[in-house]
Amino acid sequence: MATTIKDIANRLGVSISTVSKGLNGASDISEDLRQFVLDTAIEMGYQTKKMKKAENKKLALFIENMNYDTPESFGYDLVLGFRQVALRDDWDVTIFPVTPEFQTQNKYDSYLLKNGYSGAFLVGFALQDSWMGQLTHCKVPTVLLDNFIERNTYVGSVETDSAEGIDLAVEHLIRLGHTKIAFFNGSPHSMITARRYDAFITSMEAHHIPINPDLVTFGHYVKDSAKYHVPKLLSSGATAIVCCSDSIAEGVIEECAKRGIRIPQDISVIGFDDLPFAATLTPPLTTVRQDRLDLGKGAYHVLNNLINHVSISRTVMRAKLIERNSTAPVNTTT
Amino acid sequence: MATTIKDIANRLGVSISTVSKGLNGASDISEDLRQFVLDTAIEMGYQTKKMKKAENKKLALFIENMNYDTPESFGYDLVLGFRQVALRDDWDVTIFPVTPEFQTQNKYDSYLLKNGYSGAFLVGFALQDSWMGQLTHCKVPTVLLDNFIERNTYVGSVETDSAEGIDLAVEHLIRLGHTKIAFFNGSPHSMITARRYDAFITSMEAHHIPINPDLVTFGHYVKDSAKYHVPKLLSSGATAIVCCSDSIAEGVIEECAKRGIRIPQDISVIGFDDLPFAATLTPPLTTVRQDRLDLGKGAYHVLNNLINHVSISRTVMRAKLIERNSTAPVNTTT
C-alpha cells in the first residue's frame, strides 16, 4: 500500500498539516523541519507530485553484489543518502539490481541514453565486470563506489578513506600494546582491497612494527571466509586481527569461540564498515565506520558536479573508529 | 562605481528586462540563461537584494601568497568559481587577504565565530603557517586548497590530481621519444610539491625509464627560480623538462633562449597550471591544466557538505594536458 501523508505524520509525531507544509515547501515551517519531512517521506517511499512529474530528470543507480532492501544491509543507507540529496535537486532516481548477464546484453551508455537517464551511480561492481571496461570511454556522467577510472573526465568516484581507517585501527591496537597484528583482507582483484593492503603496510611501517607475512591474508568479504584463514593467523601468533569487513570479523569471532579463545581477553578483533549488526555481536565489535548515508550523499554531489561539467575525479569520505568491546590490552600472560 | 543592471545587460548583449528576470528568478527565462546572468553579475561585482540581506549566511575565503585581482592571476577563477556556486545557495562570501602576522594575532576558529562565518575556504597557505597548526582541532567547517589535515572531520580539502597530471606530461614526452626527462619541482615543505615528486617517480617507473637524480630538482613556484637550476639540468643532458608551474616553465624558456637553445627543437618544456599567459609565450606552452573555476566550485561543494555534517575528507579534480608548441619529438641529431 502506498505511503500516505498520515503515515509520515504518525511516524514523525507531527500534524498532517506540518507534513503537508514540508512536502509543499511552505514558508512557515523551518528549513530543517522541511528537510526532515522530505527525508522521511523518501525513506518511507512517499511520492511527492514533484517526484511524479520529474520524469525528464532521471538518474540511475545500478547495484551489483550487494543487498540494499533492509536497514541491516550495506546498500540501504547508501541508496537512501543518494536519493535524499538527489531529490532536493528534483531528480528521480531509479534503482537497478544488475547481473553480469545484464551487462553483457546492454551497452552501458546507450542503455542510459535510450532510457533518458542523465547520469548514474554504480555500486558494488567488480573490476572484471564488462561495464567497467566500457567506462574508460563513456561520455555519460557516472560515479563509481570504490572503483576508479583513469583520465575519463565523465567518470568520478567516491570511497571511504581506507588509509585513514586502517591507520586508526592499527594505532588503536598499538596503544593497547599489540605488535603481533594480523591483517585479514577481503577479495583480491578489488581496488579497495589493494588500497587497504597498502594502508596496512604503510601504517605498520609508520609505527615501526615489523610485518610478519604469515599474519597478512586475503579472503573474501564474507563471514564464511574466516574458517579458511583463522587457523593460520592463530598458529602464527596473532594477538589482534584487523578484518576488512564486519562480516569477516563476525566469522573470526565465531572461529575463535569454537576453539575456546576469548575475545577480547586472548585476541582483539576489529571490523570494517560498522553495519548495524556490529554493535549486537558478542562481544560488541570495535570497527572502522564507513558512513553509508554520507557515501550516498557524496556520490550524488560528485555526479551533480559532473552533470554540470565540473570534472571531479574522486571524493573521499572520512573513516571513524568506533570503539566497543572486541579489543583490549594485549594479554601478556600467554 | 557600483555595477548596475544596465552594465550587465550591455556586457551580455541582452535587454535590461532579461537581466532583471535572471536576477529575480522569474520563470519565463531558461534556467541556463538565469544562471549565466547570475554568474556574470557576480563576476562584475553586482549585489542582488538577496546578497545584500544574506548577512546571516556568511562564508570566509582566506587567501595568502596568491594574487586574485586580475583574470591573469591563479586566484582569480578560484575565487570566482567558489563565489558563483556559493551564491546559488544564498551564501555571502567575504574575501580576506591574509598575512602570517594576521594569523598570529587572531585565533582561527574564534575569528570566524566572532564574525559570524559558518565556514571558510583557505587558499595558498603553507605548512608552517600558524593557522595550519590550529586546524587539527578546529570545529568550524573548513576547506583547504592543496593541503590536508588528518582525522579532523570538520576539515576537508580540494586539489587537482597531481599524479594524473604529471603522468600525462611524462607520457606525452615519452611518446615523443624523450627518455632524458628532467623534473623541475616547486618549493619544498609543500604537500603538493611532495605529491608531484611521488607522481613523477611513479610515472617514470611505470614507463620503465630510469631516473637520473641530476635531472630532478626542487626550486620555487616562480619564474626566477629557473636561472638557478637550468644550467645543471642542461649539463646533465635533459632533452625535456617537466616544470611544476607555468612560471617556472617561462623562466626555463628564457634561460634556454639566452643560451641559444631552441624550444622545442632542442629541448621540450611542459608547464603546470595553464594560466592565461601560457598560451601567449614564445613558443606557446604545452602544460597541465588545473581548472581553477572547477577547483573553486569543488571547494564550495566540500564546504557545503561539511556544513551539512557530511564529512568529506577530500575532493580531487581532473588534470588535463594542453598540447601547444613547446614540446616536440626528441632531437636525435645532437
Of B310, B312, B318, the CB nearest to A153: B318
Residue B231 has pLDDT above 90, yes or no: yes
Answer yes or no: is B30 within a domain.
Answer: yes
Averaged pLDDT, B186-208: 94
Q: Is the pLDDT of residue A56 over 60?
A: yes
What pLDDT was estimated at residue B49?
60
Question: What range does the domain containing A237 cover?
Answer: 162-290
Lowest mean pLDDT among A39-43, A124-128, A262-266, B74-78: A39-43
Residues of A in contact with B312 (CB under 8 A): 294, 298, 315-318
What are the chain B neighbours of A320 within 8 Å (beta carbons)?
153
Model confidence at B36: pLDDT above 90: no
Considering the domain architecture, whether residues B136 and B188 belong to the same structural domain is answered as: no
Q: pLDDT value at position B1? A: 60
Report the alpha-carbon distance of residue B162 to residue B319 in Å, rounded: 7
Helix (H) or strand (E) run with residue B117 in it = strand B117-123
Q: How confident is the model at residue A329 (pLDDT cuts 50, 70, 90)?
A: very high
Residue B161, pLDDT above cutoff 90: yes
| Spatial CA neighbour of B91 closest among B31, B160, B135, B141 | B141
Same domain as B153, residue B100: yes
Pick the more confident residue, A16 or B46: A16
Q: Do residue B155 and residue B202 come from a single domain? A: no
Kindly state whether residues A86 and A75 are assigned to the same domain.
yes
Chain A residue at shortest CA distance from B165: A151
Torsion angle of the four alpha carbons B40, B278, B286, B79, in this order, in degrees rounded to the nearest 10:
-40
The reply to whether B15 and B154 lie within a common domain is yes
Per the structure, the count of domains in chain A is 2
Q: How far is CA A150 from each of CA A279, B36, B161, rounded to the nearest angstrom?
A: 37, 31, 11
Say yes or no: ipTM exceeds 0.85.
Answer: no
Evaluate whether residue A324 is within a structural domain.
no
Q: Which residues pair with A121 in a beta bridge?
A: A61, A143
Q: pLDDT, tens digit, for every residue of A233-287?
A: 999 999 999 999 999 999 999 999 999 999 999 999 999 999 999 999 999 999 9
The answer to whether residue A310 scores a pLDDT higher than 90 is yes
Chain B residues close to A314, C-beta within 8 Å:
315-316
Residue A281 domain flag: yes
The answer to whether the Cβ–Cβ distance between B310 and A297 falls below 8 Å is yes
Considering the domain architecture, whether residues A258 and A179 belong to the same structural domain is answered as yes
- Looking at residue A51, its pLDDT comes to 52
Q: Which amino acid is at A254?
A: E
Asked if B305 and A320 come within 8 Å (Cβ–Cβ), the reply is: no
B106 and B130 housed in the same domain: yes
Predicted confidence band of residue A33 (pLDDT cuts 50, 70, 90):
confident
A-facing residues of B in 285-324 (CB < 8 A) are: 291, 294, 297-298, 301-302, 305, 310-318, 320
pLDDT at B52: 55
Average pLDDT over residues A188-213: 94
In a domain, A332, yes or no: no
- Which of B305, B317, B320 minimises the CB distance to A298? B305
For residue B157, give the H/E element and its range.
strand B155-160
CB contact under 8 A, A318 and B317: no
Q: Can you give the CATH number for the domain in which A186 is found?
A: 3.40.50.2300
Verify that A179 and A255 share a domain, yes or no. Answer: yes
Looking at the fold, whether B95 and B217 belong to one and the same domain comes out as: no
Cα–Cα dist B120/A194, whole Å: 34
Of B297, B313, B318, the CB nearest to A161: B313
Render pLDDT for A87-105 as a digit per residue (tens, 0 to 9): 989 999 999 999 999 999 9
In a domain, B11, yes or no: yes
User: Going by C-beta distance under 8 Å and a sequence separation of 6 or more, which residues neighbour residue A299?
Assistant: A78, A81, A82, A121, A143, A145, A158, A315
Asked whether the beta carbons of residue A164 and residue B153 sit closer than 8 angstroms, the reply is: no
A109 lies in the same domain as A24: yes
pLDDT of residue B55 exceeding 60, the answer is: no
> Which of B 123-152 lie inside 8 A of A, CB atoms?
150-151
A-B contacts (CB, under 8 Å): 67
Which residue on chain B is closest to A167 by alpha carbon?
B151
Q: Within a 10 A sphere around the Cβ of A215, how many other Cβ atoms?
A: 21
Distance from CA of B310 to the nearest CA of A (A): 5
- B25-35 tens-digit pLDDT: 777 777 778 77
**Residues B152 and B252 occupy one common structural domain:** no
Q: What's the whole-model pTM score?
A: 0.84
Residues B15, B117, single domain; the answer is yes
